[in-house]
Amino acid sequence: MKSQKLDDLQKRLIAFFKQNKDQEGLTLREIANQVWANHPQTVLNKLNQLVFKGYFVKDNHGYRLIREEFWSRTDDVVQLPIYGFAQCWNKWKRVIEEYSQETIPVTAAFVWTDLTNAFFVRAKWNSMEPKIQDGDLVLIRQQQSYDESDYVLVLHNQLPKLKRIIKQDGKYMLESINRFFDNVEISPYDDTKVIGVVKKIIKSM
């Protein structure tokens, strides 16, 4: 069978089923919450696509993983850099080149995503609570493309921020989840660049 490219959610589903062999009793909503899917129907659609691609079979007990090689060397340990606090940096290029003082060991299977061009930041303050809290380690994969449902690391007027970018009344906004924080309009005159998309959150202990 010819190899077919998988999207991030398909990869996360494969990793989840690999780590959780017994899926009986789990609802689509519960699986969606575990793999960061925005709706149970999305999970169902992706599972059916994976059946078609030969990664799963569907029987009387539900979906069963039969093929795992969704990317190479998922169990290899990779040391990813931590680039400080998301609200306390200077220009991005300078941060990348000079300010990484720590690393953390992870595997692709643990974070359910490709680790190419990935790094961590520490969240600061509470505008994205309860999803992202002060002190959490947030895995970012560098890419400029994103969906409106994605949490992104955006460089806004030289300040790195963890937000969602939404369109509201014809304007693009930096959205905070915490209802005590206002959304911020992205002005055409602002210097705004999406650095990457949030792929996993490791909660602060």
CA distance 45 to 32: 12
Is 137 part of any domain?
yes
CA distance 176 to 168: 13
Do 6 and 21 contact (CB within 8 A), yes or no?
Answer: no
Query: Residue 114: its pLDDT value, please?
Result: 67
Domain shared by 53 and 149, yes or no: no
Query: Residue 109: its pLDDT value, please?
Result: 65
Query: Residue 108: its pLDDT value, please?
Result: 67
Domain shared by 33 and 120, yes or no: no
Whichever domain contains 180, its CATH number is 2.10.109.10
Give the domain range for residue 133: 79-202
CA distance 172 to 95: 26
Is 100 part of any domain?
yes
pLDDT digits (tens), the chain, 205 positions: 334 577 888 888 888 888 877 666 678 888 888 888 889 899 999 988 888 777 887 777 788 887 766 544 555 677 787 776 654 333 444 444 445 557 778 776 666 666 777 888 888 877 777 778 888 888 888 888 888 788 888 888 878 888 888 888 888 888 887 777 788 888 888 888 888 888 888 887 6
Query: Residue 22: its pLDDT value, please?
Result: 65
Is 70 part of any domain?
no
Query: Residue 190: its pLDDT value, please?
Result: 84
Return the closest-CA partner of residue 156 out of 189, 117, 200. Answer: 189
Domain shared by 87 and 59, yes or no: no
Domain shared by 56 and 121, yes or no: no
CA distance 129 to 148: 18
Is 48 part of any domain?
yes
Question: What would the two tokens of residue 174 be?
Answer: 């930096």
Query: Residue 90: its pLDDT value, please?
Result: 39
Is 74 part of any domain?
no
Burial class, 116, CB count within 10 angstroms (exposed 0-12 / middle 13-18 / buried 19+): exposed
Last residue of a domain, one of 17, 34, 65: 65
Is 198 part of any domain?
yes
Point out which residues pair with 202 in neighbouring strands.
Answer: 137
Question: What would the two tokens of residue 137 be?
Answer: 């380690």
Q: In one letter, which amino acid is 127?
A: S
What length does the chain have?
205
Do 76 and 108 contact (CB within 8 A), yes or no?
Answer: yes
Q: How many domains does the chain have?
A: 2
Domain shared by 85 and 38, yes or no: no
Domain shared by 56 and 147, yes or no: no
Domain shared by 169 and 135, yes or no: yes
Residue 22 makes CB contacts below 8 A (sequence gap 6+) with none
Is 161 part of any domain?
yes
